[in-house]
Amino acid sequence: MFTLTRNGKPIYLNLLQIRLPVPGFMSILHRVSGAMLTVAIPVALYVLELSLRGPEGYAQAHVLLDGWFAKLVLLGLLWALLHHLFAGIRYLLLDIDVGIDKPAYRHSAWVVLLAAPVLAVLLLGVLS
């Protein structure tokens, strides 16, 4: 089941069985999305460099971003960006005590969780 630490506190860290409250779920996705965006930095730099190399490179970058696989990756990254942005704004507001009370911080976590995927789909549709 779970083990005890030296001073008798239980450790229960089975990630498959922990049931996180909504703000906790939003928070772990803040980390997941941040790691995704970090991995995307060198890829984005590669595309930026390619697009600035000349008219041929610019066209190549367009082709590169146009495939269905690239679209899927872009959708994932757009979600990560928006989730990270919204969750970040929420944390900055919590830092200055805005929305820190009980129903509000749960509601704002739901807003972040739902707004990010919806806006990601809309933005990918408009941008491409």
Partner 1 sequence: MSRTATGFRAWMVQRATAIYLGLFFVYLIAHWLVAPPADYAAWHAWVGHPVMSTALLIFVLALLLHAWVGMRDILIDYVQPTGLRVGLLAVVGLGLVACALWATVVLLLARQ
Find the shortest distance in angstroms from Cβ 30 to partner 1. Answer: 9
Q: Which of 113, 24, 41, 27 is nearest to 77 (CA)?
A: 41
Minimum gap (Å) between residue 103 Cβ and partner 1? 25
What angle (nearest 5°) sits at the alpha carbon of residue 116, between those of residues 82 and 44?
35
Which residue in 3, 23, 27 sits closest to 13, CA to CA?
A: 3
Q: Does 92 bind partner 1 (CB under 8 A)?
A: yes
And the tokens for 83? 């989730």
Considering the rule CB under 8 A, would residue 37 count as an interface residue with partner 1? Answer: yes
Task: Determine, following the binding rule CB under 8 A, whether residue 89 of this chain makes contact with partner 1.
Answer: yes
The yes or no reply on residue 48 touching partner 1 (CB under 8 A) is yes
DSSP annotation of 33? H
R_g (Cα) of the chain, nearest Å: 20
35 lines the binding site for partner 1 (CB under 8 A): yes
The answer to whether 99 contacts partner 1 (rule: CB under 8 A) is no
Q: Does 71 bind partner 1 (CB under 8 A)?
A: no
Type of residue numbered 77: L
Contacts with partner 1, residue ranges (CB under 8 A) = 31, 34-35, 37-38, 41-42, 45, 48-49, 51-52, 54-55, 58-59, 81, 85, 88-89, 92, 95, 123, 126-127
